[in-house]
Amino acid sequence: MQVILLEDVKTLGKKGEIVKVSDGYAKNFVIPKKLGVEATQKALNELKNQQKRDSIIAQQQLDEAKAYGEKISKETIQLTMKAGEGGRVFGSVSTKEIVTAAKQQFGFDIDKKKLQMPEPIKSFGTYEIPVKLHPQVTSTIKVCVKEQ
Protein backbone atom coordinates (compact mmCIF):
# COMPACT_ATOMS: atom_id res chain seq x y z
CA MET A 1 0.00 0.00 0.00
CA GLN A 2 1.24 3.48 -0.79
CA VAL A 3 0.97 6.08 1.95
CA ILE A 4 1.51 9.87 1.94
CA LEU A 5 3.30 10.87 5.15
CA LEU A 6 1.72 13.72 7.09
CA GLU A 7 4.62 13.96 9.55
CA ASP A 8 8.26 12.91 9.65
CA VAL A 9 8.51 9.23 10.58
CA LYS A 10 12.00 8.13 11.60
CA THR A 11 11.95 4.74 9.89
CA LEU A 12 9.87 5.69 6.83
CA GLY A 13 10.66 9.18 5.58
CA LYS A 14 9.86 12.85 5.75
CA LYS A 15 6.59 14.76 5.61
CA GLY A 16 5.03 14.84 2.13
CA GLU A 17 6.83 11.77 0.80
CA ILE A 18 4.98 8.87 -0.79
CA VAL A 19 6.22 5.58 0.65
CA LYS A 20 5.27 1.97 0.13
CA VAL A 21 4.49 0.02 3.29
CA SER A 22 2.74 -3.26 4.04
CA ASP A 23 -1.05 -3.15 4.34
CA GLY A 24 -1.03 -4.20 8.00
CA TYR A 25 1.56 -1.59 8.99
CA ALA A 26 -0.42 1.13 7.23
CA LYS A 27 -3.81 0.13 8.66
CA ASN A 28 -2.60 -0.63 12.20
CA PHE A 29 0.08 2.01 12.78
CA VAL A 30 0.54 4.77 10.20
CA ILE A 31 -3.08 5.73 9.48
CA PRO A 32 -4.54 5.39 13.05
CA LYS A 33 -1.73 7.53 14.53
CA LYS A 34 -2.35 10.16 11.82
CA LEU A 35 1.21 9.84 10.54
CA GLY A 36 -0.02 9.32 6.99
CA VAL A 37 -2.98 8.79 4.68
CA GLU A 38 -3.60 6.32 1.89
CA ALA A 39 -2.29 7.58 -1.44
CA THR A 40 -5.57 7.96 -3.31
CA GLN A 41 -5.93 10.21 -6.34
CA LYS A 42 -7.65 12.89 -4.22
CA ALA A 43 -4.87 12.80 -1.60
CA LEU A 44 -2.19 13.00 -4.32
CA ASN A 45 -3.85 16.07 -5.83
CA GLU A 46 -4.05 17.72 -2.41
CA LEU A 47 -0.37 16.94 -1.84
CA LYS A 48 0.56 18.47 -5.20
CA ASN A 49 -1.45 21.63 -4.44
CA GLN A 50 0.10 21.89 -0.98
CA GLN A 51 3.60 21.57 -2.43
CA LYS A 52 2.85 24.37 -4.92
CA ARG A 53 1.63 26.64 -2.11
CA ASP A 54 4.66 25.80 -0.01
CA SER A 55 7.06 26.59 -2.85
CA ILE A 56 5.36 29.95 -3.49
CA ILE A 57 5.54 30.85 0.21
CA ALA A 58 9.19 29.75 0.40
CA GLN A 59 10.06 31.93 -2.62
CA GLN A 60 8.30 34.93 -1.06
CA GLN A 61 10.21 34.43 2.20
CA LEU A 62 13.49 34.19 0.28
CA ASP A 63 12.76 37.42 -1.62
CA GLU A 64 11.80 39.23 1.59
CA ALA A 65 14.99 38.03 3.31
CA LYS A 66 17.14 39.24 0.39
CA ALA A 67 15.47 42.66 0.41
CA TYR A 68 15.82 42.95 4.19
CA GLY A 69 19.46 41.87 3.96
CA GLU A 70 20.23 44.61 1.46
CA LYS A 71 18.46 47.14 3.67
CA ILE A 72 20.39 46.28 6.84
CA SER A 73 23.76 46.00 5.10
CA LYS A 74 23.59 49.67 4.05
CA GLU A 75 23.39 51.04 7.61
CA THR A 76 25.97 51.30 10.40
CA ILE A 77 24.88 50.89 14.00
CA GLN A 78 26.58 53.34 16.38
CA LEU A 79 27.32 52.22 19.94
CA THR A 80 29.10 54.22 22.64
CA MET A 81 30.79 52.45 25.52
CA LYS A 82 32.91 53.50 28.48
CA ALA A 83 36.66 53.06 28.09
CA GLY A 84 38.56 50.76 30.39
CA GLU A 85 42.29 50.16 30.68
CA GLY A 86 44.39 50.48 27.52
CA GLY A 87 41.57 51.85 25.34
CA ARG A 88 39.49 48.72 25.62
CA VAL A 89 35.73 48.61 26.07
CA PHE A 90 34.66 48.60 29.70
CA GLY A 91 32.78 45.30 29.61
CA SER A 92 31.78 43.95 26.22
CA VAL A 93 29.25 44.47 23.46
CA SER A 94 26.87 41.52 23.18
CA THR A 95 24.28 40.56 20.59
CA LYS A 96 21.51 41.89 22.83
CA GLU A 97 23.00 45.39 22.84
CA ILE A 98 23.46 45.34 19.07
CA VAL A 99 19.84 44.25 18.52
CA THR A 100 18.44 46.96 20.82
CA ALA A 101 20.60 49.63 19.16
CA ALA A 102 19.47 48.50 15.70
CA LYS A 103 15.84 48.70 16.84
CA GLN A 104 16.29 52.19 18.32
CA GLN A 105 18.37 53.71 15.51
CA PHE A 106 16.83 52.22 12.37
CA GLY A 107 13.78 50.22 13.44
CA PHE A 108 15.37 46.92 12.38
CA ASP A 109 13.78 43.93 14.04
CA ILE A 110 16.58 41.34 14.18
CA ASP A 111 16.54 38.20 16.30
CA LYS A 112 19.68 38.10 18.45
CA LYS A 113 20.08 34.38 17.71
CA LYS A 114 20.55 35.21 14.03
CA LEU A 115 23.64 37.31 14.69
CA GLN A 116 26.69 35.13 14.17
CA MET A 117 29.22 36.66 16.54
CA PRO A 118 31.95 34.22 17.53
CA GLU A 119 32.65 36.23 20.69
CA PRO A 120 31.55 39.55 22.24
CA ILE A 121 33.23 42.75 21.04
CA LYS A 122 35.81 43.95 23.58
CA SER A 123 37.54 46.84 21.78
CA PHE A 124 36.62 50.02 19.92
CA GLY A 125 36.33 50.09 16.15
CA THR A 126 34.06 49.08 13.30
CA TYR A 127 32.99 45.48 12.94
CA GLU A 128 31.06 43.58 10.30
CA ILE A 129 28.83 40.93 11.85
CA PRO A 130 27.11 38.28 9.71
CA VAL A 131 23.35 37.93 10.13
CA LYS A 132 21.66 34.72 8.96
CA LEU A 133 18.23 35.92 7.81
CA HIS A 134 17.24 32.79 5.88
CA PRO A 135 18.91 29.42 5.25
CA GLN A 136 20.04 30.77 1.86
CA VAL A 137 20.57 34.45 2.81
CA THR A 138 23.34 35.78 5.02
CA SER A 139 23.90 39.52 5.23
CA THR A 140 26.34 41.64 7.20
CA ILE A 141 25.58 44.45 9.59
CA LYS A 142 28.18 47.10 10.48
CA VAL A 143 28.64 48.01 14.12
CA CYS A 144 30.78 51.00 15.10
CA VAL A 145 31.84 51.03 18.75
CA LYS A 146 33.06 54.45 19.96
CA GLU A 147 34.34 55.76 23.25
CA GLN A 148 31.79 57.62 25.39
**Range of 7's domain?**
2-65
User: Which CATH number belongs to the domain containing residue 131 in this structure?
Assistant: 3.10.430.100
Residue 120 has pLDDT above 90, yes or no: no
pLDDT digits (tens, 9 = 90+) for 49-95: 999 999 999 999 999 999 999 999 999 999 988 887 777 778 888 89
Task: Examine the fold and report which residue of 40, 65, 90 is the final residue of a domain before the chain moves on.
Answer: 65
If asked whether residues 26 and 54 sit together in one domain, one would say yes
User: Which CATH number belongs to the domain containing residue 10 in this structure?
Assistant: 3.40.5.10
Q: How many CB atoms lie within 10 A of CB 115?
A: 19
Q: How many domains does the chain have?
A: 2
If asked whether residues 46 and 78 sit together in one domain, one would say no
Section 38-56 average pLDDT: 95
pLDDT digits (tens, 9 = 90+) for 4-28: 999 999 989 999 999 999 999 999 9
What's the pTM? Answer: 0.72
pLDDT digits (tens, 9 = 90+) for 93-110: 889 999 999 999 988 888
- Is there a contact between 106 and 116 (Cβ–Cβ < 8 Å)? no
How do 88-93 and 121-123 pair as beta strands?
antiparallel
If asked whether residues 48 and 96 sit together in one domain, one would say no
> Residue 114 — pLDDT band, cuts 50, 70, 90?
very high
Strands of the 2-5 sheet, one edge to the other: 18-20, 2-5, 36-38
pLDDT at 123: 85
